[in-house]
Amino acid sequence: RDWSSDVCSSDLLTLNQMKQTNSINNNKYYYLVYPGNNGKLIKSCIKNRPNWEELPLDKKKSNCNLLWTPLSIQINFHFHKVIENSQIINHFENNKELTNKRNIFINLLNYCENNLIDLFSFYPLTIIIPLNNDNFYITYQNFKNLYYDLPNLVEDKDKKNGNFLNKFYRDYFHVKPNTKIGNVQKIVIPKTHYLGKNLWLIKRINLNRGREIKVMSNLVEITQELNQIKKEENIKYIIIQKYIERPLLYCRRKFDIRIWVLFSFLGKFEKFEAYVFKEGHLKASSEIFNLNSLDLFIHLTNYSIQKNNKNFSKIEIGNEISFNDFQNELNKNKERNINFRKDIFNKIIKIIGITANIAKYKINGYNIKNCFEIFGYDFMLDEEYNPYLLEINTNPGYEESSPLIEMLVPRMIDDALRLTIDKTFERNNKDKYISKFKVDGYSDEEIMWQKIKV
């Protein structure tokens, strides 16, 4: 639906009347929740708050104080700008600066170049291939050079001068003349990323949930795949990303870690804020890890992929593992004595902090007030317990797919609302808030979102 027709003088008059009515009628507020991604849960979290009333979907959204939609394309941000002081929305206009695989890589590359940060110490080596112009052949040739150079780029502390090829990212990344991008990032491949298989992931830049991802090692097959994709319409870029060939395993299976991140820009404070939820979960494969097989059930841990496997949920319900159960598994390695919270989660928070500093200037370029968004971050650990950011997802799944998720997600949503609509509208700080969504190990009063510095 095109919402631009909703902006009119009568709507603005209605808003002014609504403000007056709110103050008279004991602060009555209205919300609209669009269908999709467990909207029923979102509504149940809002209903726990006094003086909030749901509006039917056929009502004009100018009449609601909270607009919650699964996708940002369902929001007219220009319209929200007109009424931003009376309404809060659950997306940022430019969230694709984080969630689009091409955008996040370029933003990370620029940020790390400017701040002298080693990007490839927390992000897999990535090449962006343009498909619809002359740069395709130049960039793909650069990738082929990288493919063949890879054995000589692997980290080796025994070498006096490090990796003897002494290559920088600019040597493989085709950029416009007169730009300096890639001059700082020296390519040193971690040993855990190369075991001789030379595996790569082929990804579409706008897709999530593991859709259309290919795991490939043969250069001829990679070439054929790119040429096939090149024939498709409306695909301008493809991502080729180095596969971590020695991932840390959980019960002999590959996994990734889902972390929830909240960004907000509330008109009441005129300040961008970032939070990390204190709990998350592992998403495990259904098959034993085997580097000699290209079976996607082995290599892609997305729920949408794994739920189709015959072994799905046979070990853990929903293939989902709590941080506490993960720590119990880590405790079995007496030699390393790894503490997940201290040794891994803190590193993950630092990586999220880098993306938060990018988000601060990128996802809300026009400083539209009263926006917030929950993102799903996915990380992979290598055998040395180093975390690598894989992707950032808008509209992360809220479906309660296991008892663990049934416990965590409602509290995550509820506490996010405490930091957004409760701050913006009626919540009296003197009133103690007791969450109805209990999480093991946490009190009902505390907010489970950890604020991080940006």
The answer to whether the beta carbons of residues 83 and 15 sit under 8 Å apart is yes
pLDDT of residue 273: 97
**pTM (two decimals):** 0.92
pLDDT of residue 142: 92
pLDDT reading at 210 higher than 60:
no
pLDDT of residue 5: 35
Give whole-number Cα distances, 398 to 79, 92, 409, in Å.
Answer: 27, 19, 6
The arithmetic mean of pLDDT across residues 309-315, rounded, is: 93
The answer to whether the beta carbons of residues 286 and 244 sit under 8 Å apart is no
Q: Which two tokens stand for residue 152?
A: 């000589």
pLDDT of residue 3: 36
111: burial class by Cβ within 10 Å (0-12, 13-18, 19+)?
A: middle
State the Cα–Cα distance between residues 113 and 175, nearest whole angstrom. 14
The arithmetic mean of pLDDT across residues 279-305, rounded, is: 94
Three-class DSSP labels, 218-242: CHHHHHHHHHHHHCCCCCCEEEEEE
pLDDT reading at 160 higher than 60:
no
The dihedral over CA atoms of 284, 289, 291, 293, expressed in degrees to the nearest 10, equals -90
- Between 365 and 180, the more confident residue is 365
pLDDT of residue 162: 55
State the Cα–Cα distance between residues 147 and 150, nearest whole angstrom. 5
Question: Which runs of E-coded beta strand occur in 111-174?
Answer: 126-130
pLDDT tens-digit readout, 29-86: 999 999 999 999 999 999 989 889 999 888 777 789 999 999 999 999 998 999 989 9
pLDDT reading at 117 higher than 80:
yes
State the Cα–Cα distance between residues 288 and 314, nearest whole angstrom. 13
pLDDT reading at 293 higher than 90:
yes
pLDDT of residue 183: 85
163: DSSP letter: S
State the Cα–Cα distance between residues 64 and 376, nearest whole angstrom. 26
pLDDT reading at 298 higher than 70:
yes
Q: Could you tell me the pLDDT band of residue 9, with boundaries at 50, 70 and 90? A: very low
Instruction: State percent of the chain over pLDDT 90.
Output: 72
Q: Which two tokens stand for residue 148?
A: 């063949």
Residue in 354, 390, 453, 421 with CA at minimum distance from that of residue 362: 354
pLDDT tens-digit readout, 257-289: 999 999 999 998 889 999 999 999 999 999 999
Task: Report the chain's C-alpha Rg in angstroms.
Answer: 24
State the Cα–Cα distance between residues 36 and 31, nearest whole angstrom. 16
